Structure 1
Amino acid sequence: MGKIGYVGVIFLGVLAFLGSVQGQLKFGFYDQTCPNAEKIVQDYVKKHIPNAPSLAAALLRMHFHDCFVRGCDASVLLNSSSTNTAEKDSPPNLTLRGFGFIETVKSLIEAQCPGVVSCADILSLVARDSVVTIGGPFWRVPTGRRDGTVSNSTEALLNLPSPFFNFSTLQASFASKGLNVSDLVLLSGGHTIGIAHCNPSFATRLYNFTGRGDMDPSLDSEYAEVLKRKCKVPTDNTTIFEMDPGSFRTFDLSYYRLLLKRRGLFKSDAALTSDSAGRSIINELLNAPVSKFFDEFAMSMEKMGRIEVKTGAYGEIRRQCAVVS
């Protein structure tokens, strides 16, 4: 066999291997090994999220933060140790919440099927079911993810999109995970149910945008005054503000309408309208029934949930989500 032919065979073999790994992520992965797994998740979510609806946004955010660092492998759930600072203790993740919620669901599943269902799959399912429970879109969640064994604070800093990113850096960040501009705009739509702390998320836009004590000129002035009344000082790290004021408990198109009025809370929100492609996608969503947003958001979520998944012989199945088994 010639050298080119030999290389071609190796290349096809690599493609076949990658295909087989990806193929292990499938719908109903636990049908035989833990048939009640998805129902246990759904029942717990439906029982508790109505009593704490703001957790839906928190759990959706946690899923996003997990997938953008080492793929969707539950590395964001791991605790730090004496020799390692984990993702959850990295600055972008210090406001994450819902870890106890995930751990409780895991314990319920472990009681029925010990060592079978991964924390990565549980987080993916909980995020979806929480959004559905508050009236948001449903998306399909194929399962078979395995849990990662590495969690590093620095990797979270390097991989998570920042609320201070402009459009080009956002686009590059998403592209590095196999997501396109449509995915960027659609997944940002999850901010329709979110909240944020004044500092460090957006106070700089109000008080020191360029380092000279100025305000971000892209902010609507009336909106900026409302924000300043809530966030009275640039160092306020306790006060929270709704990402989608007046509609933050409803999964709808209001977030996008606010962006066109220059009322996006983060610089990264405002950035979506600074690019013609981003604006075009937003206008298409606003000129269509909300069902279009739901359908397209669902497709982007399913796509995000497949980022760099560990399947087959890779990773592990943790017994506790915060600790490597």
Structure 2
Amino acid sequence: MALFASLFIALFMFSTYQTSALSSNYYDKTCPNAEYAITKIVRDATKKDSTVPAALLRLHFHDCFIRGCDASVLLSSKKNTAEKDGPANLSLHAFFVIDAAKKVIEDLCPGVVSCADILAFAARDAVVVAGGPYWDVPKGRKDGRVSKASETSELPSPTFNFDQLQHSFAQRGLSTDDLVALSGAHTLGFSHCSSFQNRIRNFNSTHDIDPTLHPSFAGVLRSVCDDKNKGKNAGMSMDPSSTVFDNTYYRLILQKQSLFQSDQALLTHPKTKSLVNKYASSKEAFYKAFANSMIKMSSITGGQEVRRDCRVAN
């Protein structure tokens, strides 16, 4: 799951987004059972497919970092190529979970709960079902009407250095603390070889392998991503416990066994290095920081309507 392979749009400065006043009790009277219904769907889907939590969390990230959390990543479009069809988003999946949730919610309370809110709830539930922290999701997002694959062309590469990552987050009003905490989402999921191939062959004019990558781990990656495996969906789990939301990701960074160059870049700045050490030694500290940063990120809004069908604008 290459979350940071798809998180940044240079075309849209943070000022483009709105941080509207969301509410914890937005649906208390209009759709009080919405969250319960969505939680059940996420849990049931995860029982059938353990990759669902990583996929839902990734969908939410990819949505929020383009036009704000407006469910534009869910749209299909006849006018242009939609976000989800952009090269960086082709590996997104678990759309069926959001479709199923929307159907149930529309039966409960038609035209009330936005797809953006459903996606935000589902991402939270995905983390919880994988063993991570719970947080109260702010509610009241609206859905967008526009989705363009062209806007995903400048999403951050896994090769980003610290300055590039910091700039990406700052444009969305997210701090360096948020950067490190939200990077912990890389504890879930799977990455294709293309996202870390640069680190294991022809790294630069001096080194064939990225010197910040542990040599023995580099050997494992080279074996997995050998030419004979091309076209076979080759890749690696983000960490050995890739279906469990824990703090293993940070420990791997300290061991020089993170997959992405952008992950390892968190050790190149004193503040982020300190936070990596903190979260590697304290799962509780990571959970608290992650929940707070997710609330902050998911409060970046930008939609205009409540879609009846998450795949098409009204």
TM (normalized to structure 1)?
A: 0.87
Name the aligned partner's letter for residue 26 of structure 1: S
Q: 2:66 aligns with which of 62, 65, 69?
A: 69
Percent of aligned pairs sharing the same letter:
48
Corresponding position of 1:108: 104
CA distance in 2, matches of 1:213, 1:80: 44
Q: Deviations over 1:38-84 (max 9, x none)?
A: 11101212222133222101110110010000100000001132x31
Distance change in 2, residues 1:56/1:221 (3 Å):
same
Q: Deviations over 1:182-241 (max 9, x none)?
A: 111110101111211112x11122123238993222211100100111111298351131
Per the TM alignment, residue 250 of structure 1 is displaced from its structure 2 partner at its CA by: 1.9
CA distance in 2, matches of 1:78, 1:227: 35
Greater shift after overlay, 203-212 or 117-126? Answer: 203-212
**Larger Rg: 1 or 2?**
1
CA distance in 2, matches of 1:232, 1:146: 45
| 2:102–2:118 Cα contact (<8 Å) kept | yes
Name the aligned partner's letter for residue 321 of structure 1: C
The 5-angstrom pairing of residues 117-128 of structure 1 reads: 117-128=113-124
CA RMSD of aligned residues (A): 2.0
TM (normalized to structure 2)?
A: 0.89
CA distance in 1, matches of 2:312, 2:206: 45
With a CA cutoff of 8 Å and minimum separation of 6, indicate the structure with the bigger relative contact order: 2
Distance change in 2, residues 1:247/1:282 (3 Å):
same
Q: 1:195 aligns with which of 184, 190, 199?
A: 190
Deviation beyond 6 Å, 4+ runs, structure 1: none
Indicate whether 1:137 and 2:133 are aligned: yes
CA distance in 1, matches of 2:205, 2:37: 50
| 1:205–1:215 Cα contact (<8 Å) kept | yes
Per the TM alignment, residue 270 of structure 1 is displaced from its structure 2 partner at its CA by: 1.1
Indicate whether 1:299 and 2:313 are aligned: no
CA distance in 2, matches of 1:78, 1:213: 43
Indicate whether 1:205 and 2:214 are aligned: no
| 1:204–1:234 Cα contact (<8 Å) kept | no
CA distance in 1, matches of 2:64, 2:178: 14
Distance change in 2, residues 1:88/1:284 (3 Å):
same
Per the TM alignment, residue 28 of structure 1 is displaced from its structure 2 partner at its CA by: 2.1
| 1:197–1:239 Cα contact (<8 Å) kept | yes
CA distance in 1, matches of 2:159, 2:76: 27
Name the aligned partner's letter for residue 240 of structure 1: G
CA distance in 2, matches of 1:211, 1:144: 51
Name the aligned partner's letter for residue 87 of structure 1: E
Corresponding position of 2:250: 256
Distance change in 2, residues 1:166/1:147 (3 Å):
same
Q: How many residues align?
A: 297
| 1:50–1:134 Cα contact (<8 Å) kept | no
| 2:127–2:133 Cα contact (<8 Å) kept | yes
* Residue ranges of structure 2 left out of the alignment (5+ in a row): 1-16
The 5-angstrom pairing of residues 157-306 of structure 1 reads: 157-158=153-154, 160-199=155-194, 201-210=195-204, 214-233=208-227, 236=230, 238-244=233-239, 246-287=240-281, 289-306=282-299
Name the aligned partner's letter for residue 285 of structure 2: K
| 1:78–1:87 Cα contact (<8 Å) kept | yes
